[in-house]
Amino acid sequence: MNFRRQYYNQDFDPNDIFREVFGSAMFPGGPGGPNVRMYTFGGGFGNGGFVRMHRTGGGGGGNQEEPPQNVLMQLLPLIILFMLSFMSFGIDETSNLPFSLSPTADFSVKQLTRSNIRGIAPDVSYYVRPNFKRLYRRDPSRLYNVEKNVIRQFYGKAEKNCLAEKRNQNQRIAKYRKEKDDEKLKKAYEKKLQWCEELTRIKSYV
C-alpha cells in the first residue's frame, strides 16, 4: 500500500486508512465503531493537522463529540491484540519443556530415552527434575511425547555440531596438505566425527 501516493492531498478520509490497514471486518464503520467518523483539520496528519472523532446518528441530537474514555474502550481490543503480538516475540520455545539436553541446576537427573519404543531413538541422554518419574511414569503417552521432543531437540543439536565437525576436519586437511604432513593428513581423514555419527543414527526417528 502506498499511503504517500494515495493520501498525499489534504482531503482524505482516515476511516479509509484504518479499513485498509486493519480490514473492514474489524472496524465496520471506521476505527471508533459503526457510528463514529474521523475528520482532519489543519492540513491532515503530515502537515501539522489533527484528527477528531465524533459520533453520527443513533440519537443524541446530531454530531456529538466522542468522550475520550469511550474512544479508548473501543480501541482497547486492538491495543490488547498488539500487546499480545509483541509479547509473543522472543519467547524461548524450550522454556516450558520438562527436560534439558544439558545438566542445569533445575534439570539435574540424567535420563536415557527408552529402547524398543517405536519412533524413539534409544539411549539419547537428557536431564530432568527430581520429580520427573513421579509425574510421568504413570502416563506413558506423556512420557512418549517428552521423549519425542528430546529426539527433535537432540537432532537439531547434532546437526549443528556435525557441521562444525566437518568444517574443522576440512580446515585440518587443508592445513596438513599444505604442510605436506602425510601422517597428520591421514589422521585428519580418519578422525571420527562423533556428532555426525549420532546424526546418522537418529535421523530415521525424526
Going residue by residue through the chain, which has 206 residues, state the pLDDT in tens, using 9 for 90 and above.
544 444 444 455 555 655 555 555 544 555 555 555 555 555 554 455 544 555 555 555 555 565 666 777 777 777 777 676 655 444 444 558 899 999 999 999 999 999 989 999 999 999 999 999 999 988 999 999 999 999 999 999 999 999 999 999 999 999 999 999 999 999 999 999 999 999 999 999 98
Pairing of strands 109-112, 125-128: antiparallel
d(CA 30, CA 22): 10
Q: Do residues 155 and 199 touch, judged by C-beta distance below 8 A?
A: yes
The terminus-to-terminus CA distance of the chain in angstroms comes to 42
What is the secondary structure of 113-149 as a DSSP string? PPSS-TT--TT-EEEE-TTHHHHHTT-HHHHHHHHHH
d(CA 158, CA 160): 5
pTM, entire model: 0.54
Residue 91's alpha-carbon distances to 86, 111, 189, in angstroms, are 10, 26, 41
Which pLDDT belongs to residue 92?
43
Which pLDDT belongs to residue 80?
78
Which pLDDT belongs to residue 38?
53
Which pLDDT belongs to residue 74?
74
Nearest by Cα to 199 from 121, 144, 126: 121
Pairing of strands 50-55, 36-41: antiparallel
